Copies of this chain bind each other. A is one copy, B any other.
Amino acid sequence: MPLIRSVFQDELDHVSATLLQMSEMVTTSITKASVAIQTIDLALAEEVIAADEVLDTVQHELDGRIIDIIARQQPVASDLRALITALRMAADLERMGDLAHHVAKVVRLRHPESAFPAELAPLFKRIGDAAIKMSEKTGEVIKSRDTKMAIKLEREDDEMDNLHRELIGSLANSTWAHGVETAIDLTLLGRYYERFSDHAVSVSRRVYFLVTGTYY
């Protein structure tokens, strides 16, 4: 059935294209959320908050489409695994959008104040940049299916873990003079960025699995 196979292939390509689209939306959101928290830009934060609903809708539509493909095409085991993996990648990307949205909500909560003291601005720039880079690379991995790049993303996550440790270390330091409320915000912000990166790694691992049939 070459014709049906070809329709099926088109459907799989459409699934991949939607995952790539989701990852681009996530990159836009984490970029805007990071700039918003660094520059106290409430309008930008509101854009991220509004965009989260759009991402949820895209995921919901994709989920329905994938299940419909499985029901109609009754794919062989390897194609079925690819489609189930796509469902999981969509869930990771949707969660990354949630976490960017959480960062944006801290901006809204503290506006017109900054969420962090001035001395932490350089660290938040590095944390934001690391998250944006991971999100961009996640998109590249989805697009290229480059397994080496997928493995490299895990190392970038180590960098994020180091930045996260640095952040917590600066809060827990006895010289911390910005009060407990700010420390609570920064603990949660650190957690959001850390989880964001975890999900980026998860997406990459799933791409690696799609290509090789095993996990690294």
Contact = CB atoms under 8 A, between A and B. Distances in A.
Contacts of A71: 76-77, 80
Interface residues of A, number: 23
Contact of A80 (B70, B171, B180): B70
Number of this chain's copies in the assembly equals: 2
A191 interface: yes
**Interface of A, helix, strand, loop or mixed by DSSP:** helix
Contacts of A121: none
A168 interface: yes
A212 interface: no
A159 B183 CA distance: 25
B181 A184 contact: no
Interface of A: 67, 70-71, 74, 76-77, 80-81, 84, 87-88, 91, 168, 171-172, 176, 180-181, 183-184, 187-188, 191
